Amino acid sequence: MNRKRVTIYDLAKAMGLSPSYISKALNDYPMINIKMKEKIQMTAQKLNYKHNSYAANLRKGISRTIGVIVPNINKKFFSEIISGIENVCFENDYGLIICQSQESFEKECKAIETLIRQNVDCIMISITAETQSTEYLQNIINNDIILIQFDRYIENFNTFKVLNDNEFMAYEATRHLISKGYRKIAFLGWVEQLTINKLRIGGYLRALKESNLPSLIFDNAIQKERTAEVATKLLKSIEPPDAFVTFADHQALIVLQVAKSLGIEVPEQLGIIGSGNDSLTEITTPTLSTIDQKSIDLGKQAADLYFEILSKKLSKKTIIITEKIVPAGIICRESTMKF
Amino acid sequence: MNRKRVTIYDLAKAMGLSPSYISKALNDYPMINIKMKEKIQMTAQKLNYKHNSYAANLRKGISRTIGVIVPNINKKFFSEIISGIENVCFENDYGLIICQSQESFEKECKAIETLIRQNVDCIMISITAETQSTEYLQNIINNDIILIQFDRYIENFNTFKVLNDNEFMAYEATRHLISKGYRKIAFLGWVEQLTINKLRIGGYLRALKESNLPSLIFDNAIQKERTAEVATKLLKSIEPPDAFVTFADHQALIVLQVAKSLGIEVPEQLGIIGSGNDSLTEITTPTLSTIDQKSIDLGKQAADLYFEILSKKLSKKTIIITEKIVPAGIICRESTMKF
DNA sequence: CTGAAAGCGCTTACAG
DNA sequence: CTGAAAGCGCTTACAG
């Protein structure tokens, strides 16, 4: 590999100046003669000089790079978060290195190793479903890298966190249905053991309790067939629910299909709310109400948090914020418009 | 920033050996005493030594990093491509730096600059809709960085390319509809000037010509309202089409809605095919036939291409392949099952 | 099999 | 305002 680029030495030689002077000029040091500065920057451009980040970072001991680890980047939720992170990083002239754990703890560990070797300044991670051990995360901190967990995180592990408020999200969705006049609201949950699922159940129950309404919880109803099965069973029962809170748009859509096939009118006889604000939810008939998780914003918040920490660290102030909550919003469309 | 890590010097001191020897042991050089090698690797682990990629890359002049620039990573098509690229990179222990151009030529240029400074070994790019100039891309090549264009690319610019075959994609989709017995097939296109749109029209016309069928082309029917407007007008006309080829699932879904609202039976009276294989297309009633663009595979192919080029380059062989075509597939579901 | 020395391209105290 | 020198943490010819 003989990628021979123009260096500050080349510029120095070409201009009869010292390399250190060139470096300062290029980095906008104040004590440089303004005329010279301009001249040097002109020449750099002309000679197609490219600053070598590796050399600078090695010298400075920082990388201006953030590493992100997510289970999958080809999921709307995560790709939006990354998009949000990327925007903020770009503005601050920070690079982003992306890794996918593919829900494998082993890949996750390898990704962490890689990012540490890459000398990243910060690692943002949403852990896999498998991740139990806190050892690798601790390793990040031991290497003086700022660790921010987002969305899926390890509890009882004291790091920075940026999270959706799942309890509140479920509470709001349930409240929304209640406010629209629905009275027997079924909950279609995700995997039972997941923390987020438990939190959602909590929010759901809280809303019901406030209005003295009965609960109807079905966990593990995330797979297509299972969702259809549960929805069918419930809607055919003697006292069917008059609404469903779900936490994925595809769940909501399946419920909608089942309802249609049984001749049940949505939203008149049945209210349905999904989650994720998939672009197709605007197009269905009826259009689907949905929980907007503000995932781009969540990514933005995570990146903002990093830069806050950084500035506090530089100014030696104590750091106060360790957890940010990004509130979800309810997007009200036809599927919950009983009135 | 006093991120003080363990270096090979620390290891050398701790073990009474030379840094260069440590380096060789850690890099699995053959001439090192096997016992020593093991001992050194043990100690490195114990002392929590982390190899510093920046230092190594600076010395070696390579980065083992690939830069990717896409308009938006929070679009299914692109995030899947990136996912495919990431998988291959991870296997080869290559890092990935992601940038979004947000369809802005300016941001695209800035991203290219950043990646060059980062010393990436390869840049994979899908250009913005604005991009006309070839100057920045040329700059990549001038810096001895391998350039691979994917999906959206500049024509008449001789670089490596990995593409969907848009002509063939449209041809196949149209053929599919013909084979199912549809005879008056309307084409709902994207922005008129786009190369891909022209290619698709070509494929559509080719299929029709083979079967001596009439054409019915409507460009700029990608926005929700416009799609609905065109579909409504056509379906209400005296001789309405009996099928629609579209190149986005949301277009297909809108057509489906319009048809339903007009009491037209799908697929009996009207065939519809979308594109993108959105997860919700499996859930609609009827389920939607769609063009599967194999985007994860496209990403994988792009990364594979890089590693092929690399190995050819190292073995000083001439490079032959410059363009890879990833064929799309038709996923046949209910919306085109006339028979 | 092991080590001394130079160098990758920058930046940063320090000196003038 | 300008420059000489050291050093960031590695790797790699070269020598022994």
Residue B276, phi-psi category: left (phi > 0), alpha (psi -120 to 50), beta (remainder)? left
Give how far A213 is from chain B: nearest CA, Å: 31
A78's tokens: 């995560």
What confidence score (pLDDT) does residue A57 get? 87
List the A88 CA – D8 C1' distance (angstroms).
28
In sequence order, what are the residues at sequence separation of 6 or more whose Cβ sits closer than 8 angstroms to the Cβ of residue B318?
B312
Task: Tell me phi and psi for residue A110, to 5 degrees.
Answer: -65, -40
A72, A258, A279: which to substitute to probe chain B, counting the most B Cβ within 10 Å? A279
Q: Specify the residue for token string 């000679």.
A: A47
What confidence score (pLDDT) does residue B321 get? 67
Q: Using alpha carbons, list the distances in angstroms from residue A325 to A68, A159, A328, B190.
A: 19, 14, 9, 39
The verdict on whether omega for the bond into residue A267 sits within 30 degrees of 0, i.e. cis, is yes
Q: How far is CA A295 from the centre of its chain?
A: 5
When divided into structural domains, chain A yields a total of 3
Contacts A–B by Cβ distance under 8 A? 170
Assess whether B274 and B187 both reside in one domain: yes
**Residue numbers in B near A74 (CB within 8 A):** 76, 79-80, 82-83, 296
A289: enclosing H helix or E strand? strand A289-292
A61, A79, A224: residue with CB nearest B79: A79
The residue among A209, A227, A211 whose CA lies nearest residue A219 is A227
Residue A265, phi-psi category: left (phi > 0), alpha (psi -120 to 50), beta (remainder)? beta
Confidence of residue A1 (pLDDT cuts 50, 70, 90): very low
Confidence of residue B320 (pLDDT cuts 50, 70, 90): low
Q: Is the CB of A61 under 7 A from strand D?
A: yes
Give how far A229 is from chain B: nearest CA, Å: 14
Assess whether A239 and A176 both reside in one domain: yes
Q: Which residue has the higher pLDDT, B272 or A322?
A: B272
In the DSSP assignment, the letter for residue B57 is: H
Backbone CA torsion sign across B63, B69, B75, B81: negative
Q: What is the pTM of this model?
A: 0.87
Q: Is the CB of B5 under 7 A from strand D?
A: yes
At B78-101, the pLDDT tens digits run 999 999 999 999 888 888 889 999
What confidence score (pLDDT) does residue B271 get? 97
At A20-40, the pLDDT tens digits run 999 988 888 887 788 888 888
Assess whether B285 and B308 both reside in one domain: no
Assess whether B170 and B150 both reside in one domain: no
A249's tokens: 């748009």
Around A34, how many Cα atoms within 13 Å sit in the side-chain half-sphere? 0
**Mean pLDDT, residues B258-274:** 94
In this complex, do A280 and B280 lie within 8 Å of one another by their Cβ atoms?
A: yes
**Mean pLDDT, residues B150-161:** 88
The DSSP bridge pattern shows strands A323-326 and B65-70 to be unpaired
The answer to whether B243 and B237 have CB atoms below 8 angstroms apart is no
> Considering just the CA atoms, what is the radius of gyration of chain A in Å?
26
CA separation for the pair B153, B163 (Å, rounded): 9
In this complex, do B82 and A98 lie within 8 Å of one another by their Cβ atoms?
A: yes
Average pLDDT across chain B, whole number: 90
Average pLDDT across chain A, whole number: 90
Whether residue A244 lies inside any domain: the answer is: yes
What confidence score (pLDDT) does residue B280 get? 84
The residue among B292, B281, B298, B296 whose CA lies nearest residue B173 is B292
The yes-or-no verdict on residue B142 having pLDDT over 60 is yes
Confidence of residue A321 (pLDDT cuts 50, 70, 90): low
The yes-or-no verdict on residue A43 having pLDDT over 70 is yes
Whether residue A2 lies inside any domain: the answer is: no
A53, A98, A253: residue with CB nearest B96: A98
SS3 B130: coil
The residue among A214, A215, A205, A200 whose CA lies nearest residue A170 is A200
A271: enclosing H helix or E strand? strand A271-275
Q: Which residue has the higher pLDDT, A155 or A203?
A: A203
| CATH (domain of B213) | 3.40.50.2300
The yes-or-no verdict on residue B269 having pLDDT over 70 is yes
Closest chain A residue to the Cα of B283, Cα to Cα: A254
Whether residue B3 lies inside any domain: the answer is: no
**Mean pLDDT, residues A178-205:** 93
User: What is the per-residue DSSP string for A41-77?
Assistant: HHHHHHTT----HHHHHHHHT---EEEEEES-TTSHH
Percentage of chain A beyond pLDDT 90 is: 56
A11: enclosing H helix or E strand? helix A8-15
Q: Which residue has the higher pLDDT, B110 or A34?
A: B110
List the A162 CA – C2 C1' distance (angstroms).
51
Percentage of chain A beyond pLDDT 70 is: 96
**Mean pLDDT, residues B28-33:** 80
CA separation for the pair B208, A17 (Å, rounded): 70
Measured between its terminal Cα atoms, the distance across chain A in Å is: 69
Whether residue A133 lies inside any domain: the answer is: yes
Assess whether A222 and A285 both reside in one domain: yes
What confidence score (pLDDT) does residue A316 get? 58
SS3 B279: helix
Assess whether A124 and A266 both reside in one domain: no
CA separation for the pair A110, A12 (Å, rounded): 42
Assess whether A200 and A258 both reside in one domain: yes
What is the number of residues in chain B?
A: 339
Confidence of residue A319 (pLDDT cuts 50, 70, 90): low
Q: Specify the residue for token string 């530089």.
A: A314
The verdict on whether omega for the bond into residue B286 sits within 30 degrees of 0, i.e. cis, is yes
Whether residue B216 lies inside any domain: the answer is: yes
List the B63 CA – C11 C1' distance (angstroms).
21
Amino acid at B311: S
What confidence score (pLDDT) does residue B1 get? 40
**Mean pLDDT, residues A137-142:** 90
**Mean pLDDT, residues B257-262:** 91
Q: Is the CB of B52 under 7 A from strand D?
A: yes
In this complex, do B114 and A95 lie within 8 Å of one another by their Cβ atoms?
A: yes
CA separation for the pair B277, B269 (Å, rounded): 23
Residues 11-40 of B with CB under 8 A from A: none
CA separation for the pair A148, A303 (Å, rounded): 9
Give the structural domain span for A124.
60-163+295-326
Instruction: Classify residue B263 by burial, with Cβ atoms within 10 Å: 0-12, 13-18, 19+.
Output: exposed
Q: Is the CB of B31 under 7 A from strand D?
A: no
B5, B51, B284: residue with CB nearest A143: B5
Among A298-307, A316-325, B218-227, the range of highest mean pLDDT = A298-307
What confidence score (pLDDT) does residue A30 get? 80
Q: What share of chain B is helix, strand, coil (3-state, %, to 5)?
A: 45, 15, 40
CA separation for the pair A75, A293 (Å, rounded): 13
A184's tokens: 């027997």
Give how far B139 is from chain A: nearest CA, Å: 9
Q: Using alpha carbons, list the distances in angstroms from residue A38 to A5, A12, A26, A44, A45.
A: 21, 14, 9, 10, 11
Give how far A41 is from chain B: nearest CA, Å: 15
Closest chain A residue to the Cα of B255, Cα to Cα: A283
Backbone CA torsion sign across B282, B285, B289, B295: negative
In this complex, do B54 and A63 lie within 8 Å of one another by their Cβ atoms?
A: yes
What confidence score (pLDDT) does residue A254 get? 93
**Residue numbers in B near A142 (CB within 8 A):** 48
Whether residue A1 lies inside any domain: the answer is: no
Whether residue B27 lies inside any domain: the answer is: yes
What confidence score (pLDDT) does residue B91 get? 87
The residue among B295, B316, B335 whose CA lies nearest residue B76 is B295
At B177-222, the pLDDT tens digits run 999 999 999 999 998 887 889 999 999 999 999 999 999 999 988 8
At A272-303, the pLDDT tens digits run 999 999 888 888 889 999 999 999 999 999 99
The residue among B284, B220, B228, B267 whose CA lies nearest residue B247 is B220
B227, B278, B280: which to substitute to probe chain A, counting the most A Cβ within 10 Å? B280
The verdict on whether omega for the bond into residue A214 sits within 30 degrees of 0, i.e. cis, is no
CA separation for the pair B246, B221 (Å, rounded): 9
Q: Is the CB of A31 under 7 A from strand D?
A: yes
Residue B222 has a CB neighbour count (10 Å cut-off) of 18
CA separation for the pair B336, B339 (Å, rounded): 9
Confidence of residue A88 (pLDDT cuts 50, 70, 90): very high
Residues 280-339 of A with CB under 8 A from B: 280, 282-285, 296
At A100-110, the pLDDT tens digits run 999 999 999 99
CA separation for the pair B254, B252 (Å, rounded): 5
CA separation for the pair A135, A58 (Å, rounded): 27
Assess whether B126 and B116 both reside in one domain: yes
CA separation for the pair B43, A230 (Å, rounded): 56
Torsion angle, alpha carbons of A276, A282, A288, A289, to 10: 60
Amino acid at B132: Q
A53, A86, A117: residue with CB nearest B118: A53
Assess whether B65 and B82 both reside in one domain: yes
Assess whether B288 and B304 both reside in one domain: no
Q: Which residue has the higher pLDDT, B234 or B114?
A: B234
Assess whether B214 and B113 both reside in one domain: no
Residues of A from 17 to 56 whose C-beta is within 7 A of strand C: which are they? 19-20, 23-24, 26-27, 49-52, 55-56
Around B172, how many Cα atoms within 13 Å sit in the side-chain half-sphere? 20
Assess whether B153 and B83 both reside in one domain: yes
Whether residue B124 lies inside any domain: the answer is: yes
Q: Using alpha carbons, list the distances in angstroms from residue B60 to A55, B53, B214.
A: 12, 10, 61
What confidence score (pLDDT) does residue A315 get? 60
Amino acid at B168: F
